[in-house]
Structure 1
Amino acid sequence: MRVLVVLAHPRTDSFNHAIASTVGATLEASGHAVDLCDLYDEGFDPLFTPDEMKRDFEAPPRLAAEIARLKNADAVVVIHPNWWGQAPAILKGWLDRVLRVGETYRFGTNDKGEGIMVSQLKARKALVFTTSNTPQAAELALYGDPLDNYWKRCVWGALGIPTERRNFESVILSTPEQRAEWLSEAARLTREAIG
């Protein structure tokens, strides 16, 4: 399978980058083709232009290439930190610009006549790894889990793509041994979710 791995963290020495390396190596060891999309390294421009809002907008080459990367993927892995209960702006901008009506999804109706989004993607699996510094108990008590809802219902779930997610926390308080265990878990979850 061709797997698109989307990474959104500006520091190359981050735990997010370590997860991406582990995921990539695990997928390649399983015989999959990995397309690493490091949004910061590639300098992806997350800003929507007014023209992009038009239905007849023709994507320029750089954006068209990003849309093609997603459309050609059999599975998607997303890796990012939890910043204020959300994904980094660069990743949100990537989603805003790449998930285009008419190209990656369309609107239709279900058998009850209700309006639905219909995916035009090949991907049938999604895996999301997030990191945070807030301990899980505090996160759940204070905020619920907004990122779980976002990825499983608002993004991939809205397109009918089953999604697994694992948050690693608290990164700032973790030891090298804990991070090594988490990387082993990330490899195992990648094998289980993607194959």
Structure 2
Amino acid sequence: MYVNIFLILAYPNPHSFNHAIADVANRALLNAGHTVLFHDLYQEGFDPVLTSDEIPRDGSLSHEVFIHCDEIAMADGIIVVHPNWWGMPPAIMKGWIDRVIRPGVAYRFLEGDNGEGVPVGLLQARAAIVFNTANTPEHRENEVFGDPLEQIWKDCVFGLCGVTNFWRDIFRVVVTSDDIQRKKWLDQVHDRVMQVFPGV
């Protein structure tokens, strides 16, 4: 059963379509009886800079990072919302990955492995959804850039941390979309959330 869902958003404009996506996902989860652990990284002023003191497995963590680590570790499911910027998440989201998806929380290395091997995933979340917005048409994204965000989230983050049930929806081209198209996309967000995380 999915109970605690970690929902994380990275977009600086509070009136953005990314915020609308996160709002629809949040309300759908709450209406279905889930507990939502929601973080708007820009609104919270999350510091994305990883310090050298944090790098060791038993490194010194700020209270903010400790809370994020505790919540991601207890989450039964994860939803990520952010735009495609240069084929990458926004810097604040990358910094969140650096600081929170850390050894002892999201993965560990086997005894005798000093970090050169493949880690064992520790996250208990059984499913993850990533919602991305983009202004690059699908054919150009796939043919020219190869859709790097798919590999970043599916393989490099969630796959290594033990979350193998993965869905990703991309909404494009946002900059030229109208209200009718955006309503259809938001309906798609609701349906995906309910498909992956049905009511408690």
TM-score, with structure 1 as normaliser: 0.93
CA distance in 1, matches of 2:162, 2:103: 15
Q: 1:192 aligns with which of 187, 190, 195?
A: 195
Give the CA deviation at 1:121: 1.9
Q: Deviations over 1:122-181 (max 9, x none)?
A: 211100000000111111111111111111111001122121000100000111100000
Q: Structure 2: which 5+ residue stretches go unaligned?
A: none
Q: 1:35 aligns with which of 16, 34, 37?
A: 37
Give the CA deviation at 1:73: 0.9
Give the CA deviation at 1:108: 2.6
Name the amino acid aligned to 2:128.
A
In the alignment, structure 1 residue 181 sits paired with structure 2 residue 152:
no
Give the CA deviation at 1:72: 1.5
Aligned to 2:162: 160
Q: State the SS of the aligned residue for 1:79.
A: strand
In the alignment, structure 1 residue 20 sits paired with structure 2 residue 22:
yes
The alignment of Structure 1 onto Structure 2 pairs a total of residues equal to 191
CA distance in 2, matches of 1:115, 1:69: 27
Aligned to 2:89: 87
Aligned to 2:60: 58
> Any residues of structure 2 matched to 1:87-126 within 5 Å, and which?
87-108=89-110, 115-126=117-128
CA distance in 1, matches of 2:19, 2:193: 15
Q: State the SS of the aligned residue for 1:159.
A: coil
Q: Check the 8 A contact 2:10/2:93 in 1, yes or no.
A: yes
Aligned to 1:128: 130
Give the CA deviation at 1:36: 1.0
Name the amino acid aligned to 1:163.
F
Name the amino acid aligned to 2:45.
G
Q: State the SS of the aligned residue for 1:40.
A: helix
- Percent of counterpart pairs with the same letter? 43
Name the amino acid aligned to 2:195.
E
Q: State the SS of the aligned residue for 2:43.
A: coil
CA distance in 1, matches of 2:100, 2:73: 10
CA distance in 1, matches of 2:120, 2:129: 20
Q: Which deviates further from its counterpart, 164-173 or 154-163?
A: 154-163
Q: State the SS of the aligned residue for 1:148.
A: helix
Q: Which deviates further from its counterpart, 27-36 or 100-109?
A: 100-109
CA distance in 2, matches of 1:67, 1:56: 13
Give me the CA root mean square deviation: 1.4
Name the amino acid aligned to 1:172.
V
Name the amino acid aligned to 1:23.
A
